[in-house]
Chain A
């Protein structure tokens, strides 16, 4: 079973994402705060990370940098999610594997998650 870490500070979205991905057969670990994210990654060893760009108090970019710095984690694909229109540019700059603008269609989420967990290949 593929494991997905969800870093999302809005509880309603986090719950919805967790439910949607669990129903699709993924093992999900949601965290609402970015603080403990490295610890969680070590323990949970996700196959994919869904990351909200604008976490309260923490910039999603710092989280990405921390993950990329870590040798054993740097290969974990990341999908950046954001309601912010400039986030797509940030995603490109930070070299993450995927981007989904909020609000999104569930099918779009499923498609991107399935693609990245099965092939672990860099998406454009």
Chain B
């Protein structure tokens, strides 16, 4: 139906079309009367909207193009155009084929002197591509923030899917491959929660076959490449449908355009992001595919990081459990040693009483022939007692319960006593070389005596051919030093540190048996006195053990 124009309108249209070369302007020019009916529709408008001039004239513009203001309200629009006579801004419109476009519109009022306001004329520029780029960029920057905000990739991917809707898609679906065969859905997002529920049901009833590499998710996941479907003809939907009911459900979604991009981790496809344009009628382009690929590469990094983090924290958790178990075993062992050493002392106690009784009886009766045997027994019982005490000391060191009774005493006196005691049990000559008759130290006399005994008995043990052991004690400006020198087998350079470790034994064979307790205990005692203990190679044969104590 051809619209009959009022004379004034006709004049206005004539004015407009002739005052500019409207027909050949690159912008779509649309003039409407006061009721919004289209009066002018140029060639560019035909190209942009797909409607012929003959189809457009006389139609209501807002109905034909489903025009909607983008960043403004209709009241604001009216206020501005009334006050200034013109308005400029972005609007959303739909083409004849339903495609959504973004338009920058410049609108002016048309007036003449006779009738006043006749209508408006709009110059519309297609800014769809710009707008999509802007949305894509805004979405990407939001997604990057989301990726860096959490180490849990599920949460992150859900957040990203939420950001995608409605900015770049009407639907965003994210799936991860589970056990290599099935898909685990991480997110299904649409602005309408009812539709989400419904879509989940459809997916549950008709799960994607990821083994099918001919199209869709299967292809993306198996090949690790992206898929862009700018236009989705109904034929394609019919092909994808498994049965008529499925087809009906798919049609209800109203696919306009689809992008699918893989999510990769360690060069393997671990999932996919699907962007669907439906009611917004947006047709994805190569540009959108690039955005989606950028998104998926970010997602891949996030998932990879998250997996690394999970593995690491899993490992840490495992290690913690192992350590706790080790600690428990360690404490059980120390407990055991403590109990065992107590239990071992009991038979030694009765053994010793009987030995002492025997000695008394035999001595009383004049049986001198047994005295050597009894002395050996005494010696061995004493050794047994020392070993048990060492075991107990080690368990105490481990438990941090080795206690000290500190006092001032003369270490020269202690050395003399200890040497006197030990001389009776060995053929070695133990020489004491001291300048001072008295060096007072602050320490636990009994424990330091233990150190001296350990060092001197070691010196004897490891110098089977040497006949002499020399002990020096001196005080200098910094500390007090006790030096024990033997002429024995010496200690290899690489073992100088190790010999102070718990249960370390110098020789693997049985030439010099021992439990590796003495030096460990000695080191602990000395370090608790804030001193140092170490071994040096002696000039010539043998070793030199040195320990220091702070000046009291």
Contact = CB atoms under 8 A, between A and B. Distances in A.
Interface in A49-97: 54, 83-85
A107 B357 contact: no
A109 B354 CA distance: 13
B360 A106 contact: yes
Given A103-B385, A106-B356, A106-B360, A16 B350 contact: yes
B347 interface: yes
B178 interface: no
Interface in A1-47: 10, 12-13, 15-17, 19-20, 23
Contacts of B345: 83, 102-103
Interface residues of A, number: 20
A17 B353 contact: yes
B422 interface: no
Nearest to A15: B350
B228 interface: no
Given A103-B345, A106-B357, A106-B360, A10 B350 contact: yes
B352 A104 contact: yes
A13 B348 CA distance: 9
Contacts of B348: 102-103
- Interface secondary structure of B, over-half rule: helix
B349 interface: yes
A105 B348 CA distance: 11
Nearest to A108: B356
B346 A12 contact: yes
Contacts of B352: 103-106
Interface centre among B348, B349, B361 (most CB of A within 10 A): B349
A104 B349 contact: yes
A61 B40 CA distance: 113
Nearest to B357: A20
Given A85-B392, A103-B385, A10 B354 contact: no
A83 B357 CA distance: 20
Contacts of B361: 23
Given A13-B349, A103-B348, A103-B381, A20 B342 contact: no
Nearest to A89: B403
A106 B352 CA distance: 8
Contacts, number: 55
Contacts of A23: 357, 360-361
Contact of A20 (B351, B356, B392): B356
Interface in B331-360: 342, 345-354, 356-357, 360
A109 B342 CA distance: 20
Interface string A105-121: 11101000000000000
A78 B212 CA distance: 92
A85 B447 CA distance: 13
A79 to B, nearest CB: 14
A35 to B, nearest CB: 21
Nearest to A18: B353
A16 B381 CA distance: 16
A102 B357 contact: no
Contact of B356 (A15, A85, A105): A105
Nearest to B351: A103
Contacts of A102: 345-346, 348-349
A103 B360 CA distance: 18
Contacts of B347: 12
Given A83-B345, A102-B345, A12 B356 contact: no
B491 to A, nearest CB: 32
Contact of A10 (B346, B357, B360, B381): B346
Contacts of B360: 23, 106
A109 B392 CA distance: 24
Contact of A13 (B346, B356, B381, B392): B346
Nearest to B360: A106
A26 to B, nearest CB: 14
A20 B353 contact: yes
Contacts of B350: 10, 12-13, 15-16
A85 to B, nearest CB: 7
B92 to A, nearest CB: 87
A92 to B, nearest CB: 12
Nearest to A14: B350
5 contacts: A16-B353, A16-B354, A19-B357, A83-B345, A103-B381
Given A102-B346, A103-B345, A106-B352, 10 more contacts: A10-B349, A13-B349, A15-B350, A16-B350, A16-B354, A20-B357, A84-B342, A102-B349, A103-B349, A103-B352
* 4 A-B pairs with the lowest CB-CB distances in the bound complex, closest first: A106-B356, A83-B345, A16-B353, A12-B350
Interface of A: 10, 12-13, 15-17, 19-20, 23, 54, 83-85, 102-107, 109
